[in-house]
A = this chain, B = another copy of it.
Amino acid sequence: MRNSKFVQHYYLGSGALNFLKPLLETKRTANESFVVFVIDHFFNGKEVINQLPITRDDLVLFADTTDEPRAEYIDDLSDKVKSYKPYLPVVVIGIGGGSTLDIAKAISILLTNPGLAQDYQGWDLVKHKPVYKIGIPTIAGTGAEFTRTAVMTSKVKKLGMNSDYSVFDQVFLDPDLLKTVPKEQFIYTAMDCFVHNVESLRGSQNDAMTIAFAEKSLEMMKDIFLGEMDLEKLLVASGMGGIAVANSNVGICHPLSYGLSLVLNLHHGYSICIAFNQLEEYYPEVAEFRRILEKYQIVLPKIINESVSNKDIDRMAEATLKNERPLENAFGKEWRTIFTKEKVIDLIRKM
């Protein structure tokens, strides 16, 4: 049994972002203080930047999210913050998708914990209280705004900093920020949440709380994507899916998607969709997922084609099978006898 942690504070609703300025003012109490804004590079030069209460002494870091966050990149950004002033920032804010939010989480930790990002890949390795941090999602589905994971890839593994210290102190859920997301990215990321719920519900490592969150989130996702779009509701569904999965576990799809992402350098939401689409023998919800893609006119390409070598496929399978906890969640303790490397390779070849 674990002591589960919720994000402590959230603003929800259109215009929520307006409450950032007064909140930061309560933190900027010292004569010498600054705030770090970690912003998805997509927003560089965009209108939303002007809405942010950035003052002269603050540090703005545009996070390059072309690739999934790399541990070394996070180290570089943390070093920039450390060398910016002779003192620490009072707040670290992440504004963007899951990658940006996770980078902000990791930076807040590395500012008060010695060593490199890769030292904290794993479970409960963080020892010191991080800098106060705020998460502001600009896309919905990753759940990163509510989870205790800062996902990252180092040279050897894709594994998050899983720690209560990764949880944001404050979240702003403003549906207005979601309005400019391109359709494909919007759907791929939302489906990450859909899959979180399915994997959490169909695994064994859940409890009455995570089941309630995952069921409600899944129901809301179906309402939103097969019924009427509602961005505020989508932010809530994303958050609830995040809470569910953070306190239970993913299953078969995430490990497969990690293999795809690692070898083919694909974005998380996209590789989740590619993998989930081939998992109907495990997850009956794949049928509804396909109906959603159809409704939004998204056609998933075949990505495992002649340009992908057998060696690459082998690496994907190996990376998939490293995810022992999720696979045990899905198949039980004897998962290795069921979800064999051959089976994994079969699935990958279909993708």
Chain A residues in the interface with B (C-beta under 8 A): 1-13, 15-16, 19, 23, 170, 207-209, 212, 215-216, 220, 230, 232-233, 235-237, 239-240
Contact = CB atoms under 8 A, between A and B. Distances in A.
Contacts of A5: 8-9
A7 B6 contact: yes
Contacts of A207: 12-13, 232
A230 B207 CA distance: 12
A12 B212 CA distance: 13
Nearest to A10: B4
Copies in the complex: 2
B208 A230 contact: yes
A232 B212 contact: no
Contacts of A170: 3
Given A208-B12, A216-B216, A19 B3 contact: yes
12 contacts: A4-B11, A4-B12, A6-B9, A12-B207, A12-B208, A13-B207, A208-B233, A209-B239, A212-B216, A212-B220, A212-B237, A216-B216
Contact of A8 (B8, B209, B240): B8
Nearest to A22: B3
B240 A212 contact: yes
A304 to B, nearest CB: 38
A13 B232 CA distance: 31
Nearest to A172: B3
